[in-house]
Structure 1
Amino acid sequence: MPARPWQASPAQRIRRRLAERAIETMLLLAALVAVFTTAAIVAMLVWESVVFFRSVPLLDFLTDTQWTPLFDDAHFGILALLSGTLTTTIVALMVAVPLGTILAIYLSEFAPFRVREVAKPFLELLGGIPTIVYGYFALFFVTPLLQRIYPELPGFNMLSAGLVMGIMIIPYVSSLSEDAMRAVPMSMREASYAMGATRLQTALFVVTPAALSGLA
């Protein structure tokens, strides 16, 4: 005689429905908390911005070159902040993009397996260093070193900040670039070798252009 399939009792079905409803309610509440928190942040920023621009003209905010909110003659010009951010970003990219790309080419195309296995975790470890550590490194090591070359360089300058920012993002640039290069099919490399290209020529003129969309 075949065994009868197991069927839940009415009480078990009720408990199951209640448990599912409770889980759905908790998930809905969690989603609503995230939505309401984001909406509250946006609303607060908009309200504070409206209050701020009632006392500070928008044109002065965008074009004034002074940022002295705590002085008696307060100025709220964001142009100096934007230019400083842009300058340090350009310096950081000039450091990180070439060095990170060269490092990625080496790890992807030339480094032995053991070297790659040691270098990858080391780069990831560098990427996990807190930014405050890089800040102290820039202030107490890089800046005095640059002041030996440029004695008139002030203690707080954009050059040392940009250089250290570039060092800070090298792990991200090299890791993303290496992943993009390793995703290039091996058949493209083999075709390049078959045409007489060297490993360096293949890396520079075949692998790098093919991985360009994924390069940082």
Structure 2
Amino acid sequence: MSAAFKARWSTITPPGANIAIPDPVTFGEFISNTLWQPQSGEFGILPLITATLLISGVALAVAIPLGLGAAVYLSEYARPGVRNALKPTLEVLAGIPTVVYGFFALTFVTPTLRNLLFGASLNSLNMLAAGITVGVLITPLISSMCEDAISAVPRSLREASYAVGATRLETTVKVVLPAAVSGISAGIILAMSRAVGETMVVLLAAGAGPNFTFDLRQSAETMAGHIARISTGDISYGSLDYTSIFAVGMTLFVSTLALNIVSDLISRRLRERY
């Protein structure tokens, strides 16, 4: 145990507290360990990462068809009056507080899934309901960005497609969407970044406490949800539980930063010049 580590530990340990100094954790152990129990010296972030990815995956499975479908309909098929009515509705969804979405998941989505599909096997707090609700939450973001990308495709490309006998559907699928793929891809990745960082919905609907499982019917805790629970709970400032959330926060920050960088790179790589 290094002297520097002991000195640092003494600054975050209350005077007179009899708390054992934990062994340093390697990066490999931090990423691969399936237990997150700071008081026992177990700092495995894998359960938090797994829950974050599972909920984000469910959210994207819900949001991509809805958001992209809405964007295509509004930009290519909807009449001006319908478009002027539906677009503000989607924008209103983006402005609803996330705590409302959380209670919606808790009081409507979970009971509905339990009554229609899973019965008692569905935990009252579960990743599936949280993922579906987060998907509804990020749908306006995908729809807005995809619509902007589709609308930016020059009208001349559509007219050229119609001139060779293509239908509107063929033009949309084979001409417009490929031309707008950079903006669509960037929007989807940014929406995933938003889903990864979502806090209130997963805190209310997915459960509290790390749980390494791939069963969407079970409760689990994401990185953002863990940070919110620890920082707003009765954990004393400077305790091991409290200081450990900074490692989780750094992991979450690096993850979302990487997604944003990838989004920008894809947008630059696939962007067409007209």
Q: Which residue of 1 aligns with 2:180?
A: 211
Instruction: Say whether residues 1:111 and 2:78 are aligned partners.
Output: yes
Q: Which of 102, 108, 123 matches 1:154?
A: 123
Q: Which amino acid aligns with 2:150?
A: M
Q: Which amino acid aligns with 2:123?
A: P
Give the paired residue count: 166
Deviation string 1:120-179 (CA, Å, 9 cap, x unpaired) is 111111001111111111111111111121120111211111111111111010111011
What is the rounded CA distance, in whole Å, between the counterparts of 1:66 and 1:138 in structure 2?
27
Q: Which of 77, 83, 87 matches 2:54?
A: 87
TM-score computed with the length of structure 2 as normaliser: 0.57
Q: Which amino acid aligns with 1:147?
A: R
Bigger relative contact order, structure 1 or 2 (CA pairs below 8 A, ≥6 apart): 2
Instruction: Say whether residues 1:77 and 2:53 are aligned partners.
Output: no
What is the rounded CA distance, in whole Å, between the counterparts of 2:106 and 2:56 in structure 1?
17
- Judge conservation of contact 1:56–1:76 (CA < 8 Å) in 2: no
Deviation of the 1:74 alpha carbon: 5.8
Name the CA shift for 1:195/1:183 in 2 (closer, same or farther; >3 Å): same
Q: Percent of pairs identical after alignment?
A: 51
- Judge conservation of contact 2:91–2:140 (CA < 8 Å) in 1: yes
Q: Which residue of 1 aligns with 2:25?
A: 57
- Judge conservation of contact 2:23–2:41 (CA < 8 Å) in 1: no
Q: Which amino acid aligns with 1:202?
A: T
Q: Which of 64, 71, 74 matches 1:97?
A: 64
- Judge conservation of contact 1:177–1:214 (CA < 8 Å) in 2: yes
Name the CA shift for 1:66/1:156 in 2 (closer, same or farther; >3 Å): farther
CA RMSD of aligned residues (A): 2.2
Structure 2 unaligned residues grouped into runs of 5+: 1-7, 14-20, 188-274
What is the rounded CA distance, in whole Å, between the counterparts of 2:118 and 2:63 in structure 1?
23
Q: Which residue of 1 aligns with 2:88?
A: 121
